[in-house]
Structure 1
Amino acid sequence: MAAAAATLSPADAEKLSKLKSDVASLNQISENEKSGFINLVTRYLSGEAQHVEWSKIQTPTDEVVVPYDSLASVPEDAAETRKLLDKLVVLKLNGGLGTTMGCTGPKSVIEVRNGLTFLDLIVTQIESLNAKYGCSVPLLLMNSFNTHDDTLKIVEKYANSKIEIHTFNQSQYPRLVVEDFRPLPSKGNTGKDAWYPPGHGDVFPSLKNSGKLDALLSQGKEYVFVANSDNLGAIVDLKILNHLIKNKNEYCMEVTPKTLADVKGGTLISYEGKVQLLEIAQVPDEHVNEFKSIEKFKIFNTNNLWVNLHAINRLVEKDALKMEIIPNPKEVDGVKVLQLETAAGAAIKFFDRAIGVNVPRSRFLPVKATSDLLLVQSDLYTLTDDGYVVRNPARANPANPSIDLGPEFKKVANFLSRFKSIPSIVELDSLKVTGDVWFGAGIVLKGKVTIAAKSGVKLEIPDGAVVANKEINGPEDI
């Protein structure tokens, strides 16, 4: 930390000194959080290089980004499988609120299918795994201060389930006021919006600081599978786990082939002899279009990560995980603030024998908006008794239909009220809906469909309608 401080300008050094005394008096957060925050700000002020030298970027080989099909299959021996699974912990990132979809609590409690939430499905999946192999894979939920209280209440409903559930909080950092570089809570704002969780890169120190990491290591656990709680495709994969244990890989990022919808997603590169995550924020302006091209950068990060617990312990203790800082400007009550964040995927370069695995697209099924909810609630997917969301084999096209719903559908409650039942979309290529549109029951959509209600007019698609390759602007077009 002192080395970084040495590169500060006198003005920045003074800013930092004042900030330290402000932060020292914040009694809402722990000493670990205070030092973690000051560390991050110090690195930010010292202007650590965020850009990469474009000419040094190399495409990773199959040894670095391993094709999924080349992974050895796991022997059918239940005792061997149990041994593998007893080394595993599943950790879901549960710090996000469903605010973009109009929900107030944790996003993981949005109902996805058959009245079951993301969390219900996750618990069912791990219960089934434990029952099938007689193992004890625990579930960890990393909450933020935004989701902590609600999650504790929600988790009570699984009290009788045959699965150990642990929760811990990621760090809570004060937002920085841009104008004078002071913490927002020091200026009289004591509400929740004066604070922020510093991105999922914080999973590693928080796992250690919460005491959970030491507890897991003492139980003989070796690997943690980390994934977003809203990714329905992020299920335990024995082939990946087996490969990592055999090859002593400390870190594995699941990547998948990029489509035009994913052009902004981070990608894996080989850089100065190491595998590294390249995010769009690090790309020099003149190379952004190249970064977005599907030809040159063919894969992107799903944020499904497998990490060795001993390695996390070693690197956190050495304070070696200095991931790229992501500055995220916001506004609170008209005050411009800055929050500094890190991403867990950027930690890949600090681990030994780190790899990517190029997985099938089915392992990336996130629900970020109601358009994604439409996909997973439709006949494009079915739900198994084990809690897995499985794609309908009747769908010939390997890609999902592209769905673009207008603002009237943005909130989950509005979305659900506008569909009597979710239409059949197995043969749909694309759907674009704008205006005051309402769907009846038993509708079938095929090919390319555009439905645009005229301003101020309510447009109802009747029960049982079959709409194929059509543009609908009024009842006469149906």
Structure 2
Amino acid sequence: MAAADTEKLNNLRSAVSALTQISDNEKSGFISLVSRYLSGEAQHVEWSKIQTPTDKVVVPYDTLASVPEDAAQTKSLLDQLVVLKLNGGLGTTMGCTGPKSVIEVRNGLTFLDLIVIQIESLNKKYGCNVPLLLMNSFNTHDDTQKIVEKYAKSKIEILTFNQSQYPRLVADDFQPLPSKGETGKDGWYPPGHGDVFPSLMNSGKLDTLLSQGKKYVFVANSDNLGAVVDLKILNHLIQNKNEYCMEVTPKTLADVKGGTLISYEGKVQLLEIAQVPDEHVNEFKSIDKFKIFNTNNLWLNLSAVRRLVEAQALKMEIIPNPKEVNGVKVLQLETAAGAAIRFFDNAIGINVPRSRFLPVKASSDLLLVQSDLYTEKDGQVIRNPARTNAANPSIELGPEFKKVGDFLKRFKSIPSIIELDSLKVSGDVWFGASVVLKGNVVVAAKPGEKLEIPDGTVLQNKVILISSDPNIACLK
């Protein structure tokens, strides 16, 4: 490390030690992260050494052994499992306040409702005790605690813990933003889901779970409706003593920037687009060479997590995330949980069906999961078999639909999209009840004009432009 950077780190260490809002573990974790960043520590990938993983490394889902239909055996499997949902994100991108997991996604049920119903159903069916862990951030902790109270009488143990709270760094002088007087939430950030490992340990939850005989934790984003407990995967990991498993799924053109698994110098590891040399970016995005991407559904052996955290061995790639807070340029240093795969023994990927990756990141995703394209049973959102096309429709909604509240107001009821291939909506558009969309549909209202689609309209391979005619005569 250069002398100037050493001085920068020493000054930072002194300033951080004076912060009273965070624990000693958080302070040392933060300083360690910054020290690694300043030392220029980076994992450079030699492109010529990248190999496509074999089926032993990335196991095809359809080769997994079936789980015997024996209730006692299934119970013993599930009693070794914990489900952990990453619940640190806010719903701000969709115009909501509070945790994203409390957005209603289907039939008045929130992400969290569906997760609780899923695990309750499992526990009831097999007489097992699968607990639910929620990893919150300081942004979502208070609201989540209140929400969890409504499940007090449910037959499921719900545990919460917070991921680390780190100070944002002022870009100019590398001092903590809270030391400059930004004492509110804007002075801090949660350092990415790679923080799940030390936070599990520091919260005491890891030791508690191990003392209860738990062996594996299934980690997934709370907004991924496809991330449900899978007995075949759990059984495979236990039988083969895999310490880490990443679920991957076939890449489509919509996923070209997603991280992929590679074999590199005898180990499996995650390759992210940020690690790819400029001259190979197009190759990385190709769905011919790199056919799979990371769903962020991860299965971890709890004893292995403890071993690696205690040894401080989880040195995942650092993701610098520049931001601006009240006119001040700041830096957030983050890590991703998927990047930890190379530190675990006997780590694998499993190439799962696309149905296990159903994230809701925007109102266009909400339209998909609220429509007749899906049904819901026991908390699981299941694709309607009446849909013959294996791919979901491509949906583009304009900024008028971005916020959940605005999105809901613009539909009297969610249209039928079983036979839809693509939909593009722009401008001030309002949908009536019982609208049916088929094939490729474009609906566009000119600026300053309003376009209403009447109740019961069937649109098949249509382009609709603004028209004052209530019968929307302006069809192409």
What interval of TM-score do these two structures reach, taking the shorter chain for normalisation?
over 0.9
**Distance between the aligned counterparts of 2:282 and 2:44, measured in 1?**
16
Q: 2:60 aligns with which of 36, 55, 67?
A: 67
Q: Please name the residue that 1:38 is paired with.
A: 31
Contact 1:404 1:433 survives alignment (8 Å): yes
Quick one: which amino acid aligns to residue 25 of structure 2? N
Q: 1:148 aligns with which of 130, 141, 153?
A: 141
Question: What TM-score, normalized by structure 2, do the two folds share?
Answer: 0.98
Q: Please name the residue that 2:244 is paired with.
A: 251
1:151-190 equivalences in 2 (<5 Å): 151-190=144-183
Q: Please name the residue that 1:424 is paired with.
A: 416
Q: 1:211 aligns with which of 179, 204, 211?
A: 204
Q: Does 1:261 align with 2:254?
A: yes
Partner SS, residue 214 of structure 2: coil
Q: Does 1:271 align with 2:268?
A: no
Partner SS, residue 195 of structure 2: helix
Quick one: which amino acid aligns to residue 213 of structure 1? L
Report the RMSD for the aligned CA atoms in angstroms.
0.5
Unaligned runs of at least 5 residues, structure 2: 467-471
Q: Please name the residue that 2:345 is paired with.
A: 352
Quick one: which amino acid aligns to residue 57 of structure 2? V
Q: Please name the residue that 2:469 is paired with.
A: none
Range 468-477 or range 454-463, more displaced: 468-477
**Distance between the aligned counterparts of 1:267 and 1:330, measured in 2?**
26
**Distance between the aligned counterparts of 2:370 and 2:268, measured in 1?**
37
Q: 2:223 aligns with which of 230, 233, 255?
A: 230
Q: Deviations over 1:174-224 (max 9, x none)?
A: 000001110000001101011000000000000000000000000000000
Q: Please name the residue that 1:110 is paired with.
A: 103
Quick one: which amino acid aligns to residue 426 of structure 2? T
Q: Deviations over 1:26-68 (max 9, x none)?
A: 0000000000000000000000124311111000000000000
Q: 1:196 aligns with which of 159, 171, 189?
A: 189
Q: 2:473 aligns with which of 469, 472, 476?
A: 476
Q: Please name the residue that 1:361 is paired with.
A: 354
Deviation, 1:245, is: 0.3
**Distance between the aligned counterparts of 1:369 and 1:274, measured in 2?**
35
**Distance between the aligned counterparts of 2:297 and 2:103, measured in 1?**
20
Quick one: which amino acid aligns to residue 258 of structure 2? G
Deviation, 1:454, is: 1.1
**Distance between the aligned counterparts of 2:261 and 2:325, measured in 1?**
35
Q: Deviations over 1:340-374 (max 9, x none)?
A: 00000000000000000000000000000000000
Deviation, 1:476, is: 2.0
Q: Deviations over 1:432-474 (max 9, x none)?
A: 0000000000000000101110111000011000000011102
Contact 1:68 1:357 survives alignment (8 Å): yes
Q: Please name the residue that 1:322 is paired with.
A: 315
Q: 1:305 aligns with which of 298, 308, 312?
A: 298
Q: Please name the residue that 1:4 is paired with.
A: none
Partner SS, residue 182 of structure 1: coil
Q: Please name the residue that 1:336 is paired with.
A: 329
Q: Does 1:392 align with 2:389?
A: no
Q: 1:435 aligns with which of 417, 427, 444?
A: 427
**Distance between the aligned counterparts of 2:366 and 2:430, measured in 1?**
17
Contact 1:33 1:173 survives alignment (8 Å): yes
Q: Does 1:409 align with 2:406?
A: no
Contact 1:111 1:117 survives alignment (8 Å): yes
Contact 1:274 1:349 survives alignment (8 Å): yes
Quick one: which amino acid aligns to residue 450 of structure 1? V
**Distance between the aligned counterparts of 1:366 and 1:99, measured in 2?**
16
Unaligned runs of at least 5 residues, structure 1: 1-7
Partner SS, residue 473 of structure 2: helix
Question: What TM-score, normalized by structure 1, do the two folds share?
Answer: 0.98
Range 278-287 or range 144-153, more displaced: 278-287
Q: Does 1:132 align with 2:128?
A: no
Q: Does 1:375 align with 2:368?
A: yes
Contact 1:51 1:284 survives alignment (8 Å): no
Partner SS, residue 4 of structure 2: helix
1:450-469 equivalences in 2 (<5 Å): 450-469=442-461
**Distance between the aligned counterparts of 2:209 and 2:2, measured in 1?**
43
**Distance between the aligned counterparts of 1:432 and 1:335, measured in 2?**
37
Q: Deviations over 1:219-257 (max 9, x none)?
A: 000000000000000000000000000000000000000
Deviation, 1:477, is: 2.4
**Distance between the aligned counterparts of 1:443 and 1:327, measured in 2?**
45
**Distance between the aligned counterparts of 1:263 and 1:232, measured in 2?**
21
Quick one: which amino acid aligns to residue 165 of structure 2? Q
**Distance between the aligned counterparts of 2:290 and 2:181, measured in 1?**
47
Q: 2:46 aligns with which of 17, 40, 53?
A: 53
Q: Deviations over 1:57-113 (max 9, x none)?
A: 000000000000000000000000000000000000000000000000100000000
Identity %: 84
**Distance between the aligned counterparts of 2:260 and 2:162, measured in 1?**
28
**Distance between the aligned counterparts of 1:117 and 1:316, measured in 2?**
33
**Distance between the aligned counterparts of 1:476 and 1:282, measured in 2?**
52
**Distance between the aligned counterparts of 1:51 and 1:107, measured in 2?**
35
Q: Please name the residue that 1:91 is paired with.
A: 84
